[in-house]
Amino acid sequence: MGRSRGGFTSKIHARCDNQGRPLGFVLTEGQVSDYKATDALMKPPIPNPKAMLADGGYDSDSFRQALLVHGILPVIPSRKGRSAPQKTDWRRYRDRNHIKRMFNRLQQMRRIATRCDKTALSFMSFLNIAAARLWIRSFVNVT
């Protein structure tokens, strides 16, 4: 856990598929910039998506170039202070609500919403259990 103005905090960085099911998590300290977790998010051995939708906190030239090298279209709005704003496909960006809904479903579990675990290992373990619970929903009662 990292120290910030509000006390000890942490950030959950997640990658999900187009149906809002989690594919991987990275836990960082609260004061760390978002794009520092991008390398770890891209490491899981899953097929590369056609496009990567992310919020403005992940806007960096190095991350955009890394995505393009892997054949992934970056759909990331530019930060306000950027000298040369990048174009954003706002029609595709609307689909980012899948990850917002995934976080909402994860935070329905009180232990994740309050982040009361003391260690990163126990918090990540519970995140993975909650992710498995979301994945199981997609396999149960499917005809």
Q: At what angle do helices 120-139 and 97-106 cross, to 10 degrees?
A: 110
Domain 2-139 bears CATH identifier 3.30.420: yes
Query: What percent of the chain clears pLDDT 90, i.e. is strictly above it?
Result: 15
Per-residue 3-state assignment (H helix, E strand, C coil) for 35-91: HHHHHHHHCCCCCCCCEEECCHHHCCHHHHHHHHHCCCEEECCCCCCCCCCCCCCHH
Neighbours of 59 (CB within 10 A): 21
Q: What local confidence, expressed as pLDDT, does residue 38 receive?
A: 80
Residue 6, pLDDT > 70, answer no
Closest CA to 50 of 20, 79, 73: 73
* For range 1-7, the mean pLDDT: 52
Give the tens place of pLDDT for each residue, 83-116: 888 888 889 988 888 889 999 999 888 888 877 7
What is the CB-side half-sphere exposure of residue 123 using CA atoms within 13 A?
20
What is the CB-side half-sphere exposure of residue 82 using CA atoms within 13 A?
15
Phi-psi region of 7 (alpha: psi -120 to 50; beta: other; left: phi over 0): left
* For range 36-55, the mean pLDDT: 84
Q: What local confidence, expressed as pLDDT, does residue 8 receive?
A: 66
Global pTM reads: 0.80
Residue 40, pLDDT > 80, answer yes
Tokens linked to 65: 């170039």
Tokens linked to 7: 């006390």
Q: What local confidence, expressed as pLDDT, does residue 101 receive?
A: 92
Q: What local confidence, expressed as pLDDT, does residue 86 receive?
A: 85
